[in-house]
A and B are shown apart, each in its own frame.
Chain A
Amino acid sequence: MRPAQDNQGSFLGRISIRRNQFTDVNTEQEQEDLELFQKHIADRFTELLTPPPPPQPPSDETDAVASVAATEQIMSVTWLRKLMDVFLCCEAEFKAILLMGRDPTQISKPPFDRLVPEMLDRSIKALDICTAVVNGIDSVRHYQRLAEIAVAALEQRPLGDGNVRRAKRALANLLIALSIEDKENVSSGGGGNKTVERSWSFGRRGGGSSAASKGGATIGQLKSSSWAVGRNWSAAKQIHAMTANLTPPRGNEAAGLPLPMFIMSTVTVFVMWVLTAAVPCQERAGLANHLPVPKHLNWAQSLVGIHEKIGDEWKKKEKKGSAGLMEEMTRMEKLGHSLIEFADGFHYPAEKEAAESAAAQVAEMAEICRRMEEELVPLQQQIREVFHRIVRSRAEILEVLEQAGKLSAPVV
């Protein structure tokens, strides 16, 4: 049962009733709508913070239970897809509050003549983040392919030194890719950085002869010269700019339309922040710490909870360097390390015990790859949907403003 969903129907219904009587704005009705909106936001994020138990009672197979739990975990690719759904729901509801049945001139008067342009400005910045993240997910798909190569090699039976050697090479590349903090570090002048990392990896892991270290082997990064979004673009700067003028409404504004505008902007910034945290993204230094989220507000409780969880994780990882906090990537990294360890100690023929534990890890890695294969592209599509939704909403708001401009313009 999902109470949030049920309420939504009646909520929208009420709004459309109001539409027919907008000349006399029913403030009581509006208050109720606003409260409902806050409640929905709170409910949706609570559900994200504490995923509901799997719909079916646990079966005998413990594996299945474990995988369901992992799937729903914060920052897993499935969870990110849910987050996108939540964003789209919030956005639709917000737009209904902002535009439906409203006299256009209302949102062009102070304080909206300031608040609306600020909000639209944030939405433009969000668009660029969407683009950067879609691009970042492509990098994740590259990690997936490296992991797949390792899996395929380690699944060979009988497992020989040749297979292990191959796996080790793929894993080494994977681990380098996963530990590079910003895409920018690689794609910009940091070429030196990349070379160092690369030869280090082959030097130490020693995939073969010295020839290998210079080789054109597939390395974990995608690009040499191009930028996902544009030169000098920085996710961190965009997020900073989005939050710069984002303050909770005070006084009598706090009771009216400025509040949902503030809430929606906060949700947008938060969602964008999560996305930049999850996958490789151009220039995001300092983002782990910086995201002012409003504490002590009922609707924001769970959002703050999620923010803290991710923020803590991010700060931990930041020191070591990490391509992203997506749960699958984190697990991939862990598995990668222990499989490399296995590979380093491998002697043909494999010891039964080590081989068995490695096989379990390989199976887990394979499972992660499978999930990525299933969900990364749909996630990209959802983010593009978010992109287009933001574009559409912005256009609708601008249209209303234009209408308002015509209505209020003095007739010559």
Chain B
Amino acid sequence: MAGLESKLPVVPGVKNHVLEACHHVVKALRASDNNLDPNLTKLLSDLESHLSTLEIVDTKVVVVEDTGFSEIKKGFKEAKKVILGWEQNQSMILEAGVSKADLFFQALHDVQRVLTSFKALPIRTNKKEKDVYNQAAVVLDIAMFRLEKELCDVLNQYKQHVQPQYLSVSSRGKDIVYDESFVSLDDVVVEATDDQQILGSNNVVLLDPLVIPHIKAIAKAMFACDYGQAFCEAFITVRRDALDEYMSTTLEMERFSCVDVLGMQWEDLNGEMRKWTKVLKIVTLVYLASEKQLCDKIFGDFEPSSAACFVEISKDTVLSLLAFGEAVSLRSCQPEMLERFLGMYEVSAELLLDVDNLFGDETGSFLRMAFHELAKTLADRTVATFSKFKNAIASDESTRAFSGGGIHHLTRYVMNYLKLLPEYKDALNTLLGNMQVDDSIPEKTGQDILPSTFSPMARHLRSIVTALESTLERKAQLYAEEPLKYIFLMNNCHYMVQKVKTSELRHFFGDEWIRKHIASYQHNVTDYERATWSSVLSLLKDNSKDSVSTSRDRCRLFCLAFDDVYKNQTRWSVPDPELRDDLHISTSVKVVQSYRGFLARNADRIGEKHVRYTCEDIESLLLDLFECLPSPRSLRSSRRRW
């Protein structure tokens, strides 16, 4: 076969083209004008006769070449044998080893050369030669079909299964479940999200790297024989099925119609939204990035096909993911969806750059645009949900006072929800940048130096808490007993401060806010003490003119008033132990001191048997306050000692 090349009359082939072209020029010139200059007519005739002699000479060359043809034929026969041999063999060429594979590709190459050399000599009319050409084309097609099958087999067989190692999250325990009364979000439920560590460069292996050279060889052969399209079709089909399988089997992503999504229970939808957020990231950053690399590796020399094939492989899956985002956006945005929407928005916005890179060219513009559209839609929905969230807090009404004056579930819900938000600070700052807000700390003041304290998100967080405070203020008005109102406000304000101080939120609320709110609940304490004890203690204010009976009366009245307070306030609740201790101490200091003073001044006159409580009694009884006891404790049975 090696000798074939030198004997092949490449030059005459070219010459034939030139001759043909000349014929055309002559014809065209004749046709262009009926009144040609006679000189020119003559010139053309001469040219034509020259051309025909040249052609005869050329034919002679071909005849001379016939010895070459027999060699072509012989070479072709061998190549044909190799290729047809594989028709009987169902196993992969790849598995027969490199040398066998090379033999196949070499045979293919030879067949291809027969075809090109024939095409270079279009005026051959020899029947034998034509037959060889025809047979060569058939053998080529057989080989191509064999390679197509080989391609599918190898891609299927050596596909690497991507483990869902990134998807450990879907089964995470309880979730924030919303209900109208804001009851469900308790402190226990909230846990930091520690997943999400999917890094951009985390590529995975989708296909055994050992077979890549073989696939590249198939690509090269098929593209060279003008079967590039068939290669792409087969490649796309197999790889798309692999992605499909990955989505449905490994990631267990189900497809939902808009009707499905609109009819879904919130708990289920919540799970699906959470899952989507992760899957979109994994699919884009890990799977598709790797798929693109694979395409680039295999199509290396056929650049445009690479991008087009990649788009075809990923299109269906990407569109189905986007469709879910669009379907979710159709739901009326409920406050409880805020975090999920934030997550979805954040991931879609974050991925835009990667998407632009993945689908950079013209064929991918469709997907690129769809992705950008979705990010925009999700941004709108998130902002709308954010407003809904705030409105829901601001307009939460109750008809009955919250029993015990403890921490309202609205406060718990809101504060715990807010704690989830710092994770989305970039997204929120972008989204809320243009939204009007009334901030309780409009200017940079005091020691706050962190820029985060004055970011759009911080302003909105403070304004949400302001809304919460006014709602709580309204709820406080429902209490018949004034002191309980203060206990309620104190408890809730203290809870807010604690939540802020002990979390990321402190960087957003800032020291100034914390200082103000500590002052606020301390003020509640003072108010409480005034409201409860000033009237009780006023009974102990004696003057020297008091008679014995008046003093006894005072002591009795004080004890009765104290009993009353005790009966009531042991049912009240101050859940925070430290706060409760503080309250006990400061109350104790005031009450016990006054009482002790009173007794010291009047003990003699009243007489011991008329003193119902000692100072120690009072001190220890005070410790029962705010313990949220289920029923009023009977003082007589347990505490009285006589």
Interface residues of A (CB under 8 A from B): 124-125, 127-128, 131, 134-135, 138, 142, 145-146, 148-149, 152, 156, 158, 160-163, 165-166, 169, 207-209, 211-212, 214-219, 222-231, 233, 238, 348-349, 377, 380-381, 384, 387-388, 391, 394, 398, 412
Partner of B320, one of A165, A166, A226, A231: A226
Q: How far is the CA of A227 from the CA of B254 in the complex (A)?
A: 9
Residues of B near A398 (CB, < 8 A) are 332
Contacts of B254 in A (CB 8 A): 230-231
Partner of B326, one of A149, A208, A216, A391: A391
Other-chain residue from B136, B327, B330, B366 in contact with A394 (beta carbon distance below 8 A)? B330
29 residue pairs of the A-B complex, CB under 8 angstroms, read: A125-B258, A128-B258, A135-B319, A152-B226, A160-B138, A162-B140, A166-B144, A208-B141, A211-B90, A214-B90, A216-B151, A216-B152, A216-B238, A222-B237, A223-B241, A223-B316, A224-B241, A224-B244, A224-B245, A225-B249, A226-B317, A226-B320, A230-B254, A233-B257, A233-B259, A238-B259, A381-B366, A387-B326, A391-B330
A128 touches B257 (CB 8 A): yes
- Complex interface: chain A residues within 8 A of B142 (CB): 208-209
CB distance from A384 to the nearest CB of B (A): 7
A138-B233 contact in complex given A208-B142, A216-B148, A222-B240, C-beta closer than 8 Å: no
In-complex Cβ contact of B229 among A148, A156, A169 (8 A): A148
**B323 close to A (CB within 8 Å):** yes
Instruction: Decide if A229 touches B332 in the complex (CB within 8 Å).
Output: no
Knowing A152-B226, A152-B229, A217-B145 are in contact, say whether A163-B137 is a contact too (CB < 8 A).
yes
CB-defined contacts of A156 to chain B, threshold 8 Å? 137
- What are the residues of chain B within 8 A of A165 when measuring CB–CB? 138, 141
Known: A138-B315, A145-B233, A230-B256. Contact between A217 and B149, CB under 8 A? yes
Q: Of the candidates A161, A223, A238, which one forms a contact with B134 in the assembled complex, judged by CB atoms under 8 Å apart?
A: A161
| Residues on B with beta carbons closer than 8 Å to the beta carbon of A158 | 130, 133
Interface string of B255-290 (1 = CB under 8 A from A): 111111010000000000000000000000000000
Q: Residue on B with the closest CB to A132?
A: B257
B248 within 8 A of A: yes
Closest 5 CB pairs of A and B: A216-B152, A162-B137, A215-B149, A160-B137, A230-B257
Determine which of B145, B241, B329 lies in contact with A169 in the assembled complex, contact meaning CB atoms within 8 Å: B145
Say how far B244's CB is from chain A's closest CB, in angstroms.
5
Structural contact, B370 and A162, CB atoms closer than 8 A:
no
Answer whether A162 and B141 are a contact pair too, CB < 8 Å, given A215-B152, A230-B256.
Answer: yes
A384, closest chain B residue (CB): B370
Within 8 A of A (CB), among B226-241: 226, 229-230, 233-234, 237-238, 240-241
**Residues in chain B near residue A135, CB distance under 8 A:** 316, 319
Most buried by B among A208, A226, A228: A226
The smallest C-beta distance from B353 to any residue of chain A, in angstroms, reads 23
Q: Is B373 in contact with chain A by the CB < 8 A criterion?
A: yes
Q: Is B20 an interface residue (CB 8 A)?
A: no
Q: Does B247 lie at the interface of the complex (its beta carbon under 8 Å from any beta carbon of A)?
A: yes
Please give 15 more A-B residue pairs, beta carbons under 8 A apart, in addition to A142-B233, A225-B241: A124-B258, A131-B258, A131-B323, A145-B229, A149-B230, A160-B138, A162-B137, A207-B145, A208-B142, A211-B146, A222-B237, A226-B317, A229-B255, A230-B254, A349-B134
Looking at the assembled complex, report how far the CB atom of B27 sits from the nearest CB atom of chain A, in whole angstroms: 20
Contact A215 B145 (CB under 8 A): yes
B residues 307-351 in Cβ contact with A at 8 Å: 315-317, 319-320, 323, 326-327, 329-330, 332
From A160, A169, A225, residue with most partner B Cβ within 10 Å: A160
Closest A residue to B148 by beta carbon equals A217
A217 to B238 Cα, complex, angstroms: 10
- Consensus secondary structure, chain A interface: helix
Indicate whether A225 sits within 8 Å of B138 (C-beta atoms), given known contacts A145-B233, A152-B229: no
Contact with A227, one of B144, B255, B262 (Cβ below 8 angstroms): B255
Min Cβ gap B116→A in Å is 13
Indicate whether B139 reaches chain A with its CB closer than 8 angstroms. yes
- Which residue in chain B gives the minimum CB-CB distance to A234? B257
Query: Chain A residues near B230 (CB, 8 Å)?
Result: 149, 218
**Residue among B133, B135, B139, B145 with the highest chain A CB neighbour number at 10 A:** B145
A145 to B305, CA, bound (A): 14
Q: Given A228-B255, A230-B260, A348-B134, are A208 and B330 also a contact pair (CB < 8 Å)?
A: no
Chain B residues, CB < 8 A from A211: 87-88, 90, 146, 149
A158 to B297, CA, bound (A): 35
A160 and B133 contacting across the interface, CB-CB below 8 Å: yes
CB nearest to A216 among chain B residues: B152
Q: What residues of A have a CB within 8 angstroms of the CB of B203 in the complex?
A: none
B373: nearest chain-A partner, CB-CB = A388
Total A-B Cβ pairs within 8 A:
152
Chain A proximity of B338: nearest CB distance (Å): 18
In the complex the two chains form, is A161's CB within 8 Å of B370's CB?
A: no
Known contacts: A148-B229, A207-B145. The answer to whether A377 contacts B366 by CB under 8 A is yes
Cross-chain contact A216 with B330 (CB below 8 angstroms): no
| Bound Cα distance from A89 to B146, whole angstroms | 52
Residue of B nearest to A282 (CB): B257
List, in ascending order, chain A residues with CB within 8 A of B258's CB: 124-125, 127-128, 131
Which chain A positions have C-beta within 8 A of B134? 160-162, 348-349
Which A residues are CB-close (under 8 A) to B245?
A: 224-225
For B226, what are the chain A residues with a Cβ–Cβ distance below 8 Å?
A: 152
Nearest CB on A from B272, distance (A):
12
> Which residues in A have their C-beta under 8 angstroms from that of B327?
127
Contact between chains at B87 and A208 (CB < 8 Å): yes
B156 at interface by CB-CB < 8 Å: yes
A388 vs B322: C-alpha distance in the bound complex, in angstroms? 13
Known: A134-B319, A161-B137, A163-B141. A226 touches B229 (CB 8 A): no
A349 near B366: Cβ-Cβ < 8 Å: no
**Bound: A45/B233 CA distance, A:** 39
The smallest C-beta distance from A167 to any residue of chain B, in angstroms, reads 10
Contacts of B139 in A (CB 8 A): 162
Question: What is the chain B residue whose CB lies nearest that of A224?
Answer: B241
Whether the pair A124, B130 counts as a contact (CB closer than 8 A) is: no
A251 vs B362: C-alpha distance when bound (angstroms): 55
Q: How far is the CB of A235 from chain B (nearest CB, A)?
A: 11
Is the CB of B153 closer than 8 A to any CB of chain A? yes
The listed residue with most A CB atoms (<10 A of its CB), out of B152, B241, B323, is: B323
Residues of B within 8 A of A209 (CB): 87-88, 142
Chain A residues near B370 (CB-CB < 8 A): 384
A135-B316, A223-B316, A224-B244 given as contacts; is B145 within 8 A of A208 (CB)? yes
What residues of A have a CB within 8 angstroms of the CB of B140 in the complex? Answer: 162
**Contact A216/B234 with A160-B137, A162-B141, A223-B316 known, Cβ cut-off 8 Å:** yes
Minimal beta-carbon separation of B325 from chain A (angstroms)? 12
* Chain A minimum-CB-distance residue to B363: A377
Chain A residues near B320 (CB, 8 Å)? Answer: 226, 228
Q: Give the chain A neighbours of B260 by CB distance below 8 A.
A: 230, 233
Report the Cα distance A145→B315, complex, angstroms: 16
Closest to B84 in A: A209
**A191 to chain B: closest CB distance in Å?**
12
Whole-angstrom distance between the Cβ of B247 and the nearest chain A Cβ: 7
**Most chain A beta-carbon neighbours within 10 Å: one of B141, B327, B332:** B141
The reply to whether B257 and A226 form a contact with Cβ atoms under 8 Å apart is no
Cβ–Cβ < 8 Å partners of B256 in chain A: 230
Cβ-defined contact, A216 with B149, below 8 A: yes
Give the residues in chain B near A222, CB-CB below 8 Å.
237, 240, 316
Among candidates A128, A131, A212, A223, residue contacting B240 with C-beta atoms closer than 8 Å: A223
Residues in B neighbouring A412, C-beta threshold 8 A = 397
Q: How far is the CA of A166 from the CA of B229 in the complex (A)?
A: 12
Question: How far, in whole Å, are A219 and B241 apart by their CA atoms in the complex?
Answer: 13
B residues in contact with A216, CB < 8 Å: 148-149, 151-153, 156, 234, 238
* Chain A positions within 8 Å of B257 at CB level: 128, 131, 229-230, 233
Nearest chain A CB to B273's CB is how many angstroms away?
A: 16
**Assembly CA distance A398 to B381 (angstroms):** 14
Choose from A125, A349, A388 the contact partner of B259 (Cβ within 8 Å). Answer: A125
